[in-house]
Amino acid sequence: MIGERTLGLRSKRVTFFTTHDVDRPGLVCRPEDEGRCADAVWRHLLEKEGADAIELMAQDENSPLLPRDRLLPGWRVRTFDSIPNSTIVLGQTPLADWFGSLQKKYRLRVGRQARRLFTAGRVELLTARHPDALGPFLELYLDLERRSWKSGAGAGIGRHPKRVALFRTQCLPGRAAAPVIHLLTLDDLPVAGMFGVDFAGGFYGREIAFDEDCASMAPGNLLMLLAIGEAIGRGGAFVNLLGFFGYYKSRWGATATATRGVQLLRRWSAPWALALVQAALRRLRPAGAVVEAGAFNPARREAIGDGPPEGAPDAPPPDRRVERALLRDTLARLAPDLVGRLGGAALDAALPFPTVEEPVVAPASPRRGRAAPGPEVR
């Protein structure tokens, strides 16, 4: 419970003691005890805490915490759409078969952009799971995040010192949810990174970032594919991508689970009066323009704009010697067995598409005396 001032009056609000990037927070109990535990929670919140407002976030339709037909005299109950969850169900299929289940147009796009990245230099996937490697890898991830669109948008891990401290503590030993940090490198330069956790038989992708200067090669897409492949290789049953940016996650075969937010306001309290005022203002305010869902990432566009105008010359790539040296120094300080490395022929074999352009030889012309056209390149 937190104390706050609403309309100049003191009030108390009960809300989740969690960060925003969690998956459908609910009761921690045995399934057969959910009903009794939910009743106990509601009795505690309504009768003992004396709160003026109670908020529950991201509850799916199976949540026992939804009010449904509970009798709540003296309270105004509001429900609203909350953050949908996106989860990829893996099953026991190999990566190539799973990748083949995605839309063909998107598969071709991922393969084409990945080949562009492989043409640019030496690509390698680095993975840290050991606590001695997680801390240094988190610093490398934060350095990469500063080169991503998230830095300009105030998003990501580095947006606040308290959030950085939270992730640093999660890299310490003895965590029930085992942290995993993947870094995709191009000639020893981290160009995409992911912070996730292995938990309950699956992988939870919590944060992902990529170097904005490499956006045309989509290193984040290749990293996402490799992270899914590693989860499959470890026998994971799912990859949970949490909320936000569902348009992108659906392209990876993620199933969206709708959630609801719940707000209880004690009648005649300051939060109840404020909600009435806000509702009246919304009715008076003209409706804003509706953005087509799934077309783009609005947060990234707001941070970096629409990019250079069409026909503008490509900017020279920035000098990244400092960042490359940072990675090399980090790897030199860590024992080799603390970092997983996937590169070269092993990386090529792990992918469900070729990493180089394959020439296609046109068939000989049926007309005698006419030379067949030369080889084409896909």
Residue 45 tokens read as: 């919140």
CB 128 within 8 A of CB 180: yes
Task: Give the C-alpha separation, 44 to 237, whole Å.
Answer: 36
Task: Give the C-alpha separation, 181 to 131, whole Å.
Answer: 11
Predicted local confidence at residue 3, as pLDDT: 79
Phi, psi (degrees; rounded to nearest 5) at 312: -70, 145
What letter would DSSP give residue 82? -
Residue 174 tokens read as: 């003895």
Annotate 53-119 with DSSP letters as a single string: EEEEEEE-TT-TTS-TT---TTEEEEEEE-PPEEEEE-TT--HHHHHHTS-HHHHHHHHHHHHHHHH
CB 148 within 8 A of CB 209: yes
What letter would DSSP give residue 315? P
CB 74 within 8 A of CB 208: no
- Quick check: helix, strand or coil at residue 5? strand
Predicted local confidence at residue 48, as pLDDT: 62
> Which secondary-structure segment (H or E) carries 162?
helix 161-170
Task: Give the C-alpha separation, 90 to 191, whole Å.
Answer: 26
Predicted local confidence at residue 378, as pLDDT: 43
Domains of the chain, with CATH numbers?
Answer: 2-82+258-282 (no CATH), 86-255+335-350 (3.40.630.30)
- Quick check: helix, strand or coil at residue 308? coil
Predicted local confidence at residue 19, as pLDDT: 59
Task: Give the C-alpha separation, 88 to 101, whole Å.
Answer: 12
Closest CA to 205 of 257, 235, 245: 245
Closest CA to 86 of 223, 232, 240: 240
CB 138 within 8 A of CB 167: yes
Mean pLDDT, 10 residues at a time, over the chain (378 residues)? 80 74 83 91 78 88 87 87 92 92 96 96 97 97 94 88 93 92 97 95 94 94 97 95 88 93 89 88 72 54 56 63 95 96 96 83 56 48
Residue 313 tokens read as: 């010359």
Predicted local confidence at residue 247, as pLDDT: 87
Counted residue by residue, the chain has a size of 378
Torsion of CA 269, 270, 273, 278, to 10 degrees: -140
Residue type, 156: G
- Quick check: helix, strand or coil at residue 225? helix
Strand 123-128 vs strand 75-81: parallel, antiparallel, or unpaired? unpaired
For 50-80, b where at least 16 C-beta lie within 10 A, e where not — what string?
ebbbbbbbbbbeebbbbbeeeeeeebbeeee
Predicted local confidence at residue 287, as pLDDT: 62
For 327-351, b where at least 16 C-beta lie within 10 A, e where not — what string?
beebbeeeeeebbeebeeeebeebb
Residue 134 tokens read as: 């997680």
Residue entry with tokens 């998003």: 155
Predicted local confidence at residue 79, as pLDDT: 87
Residue 144 tokens read as: 């990469």
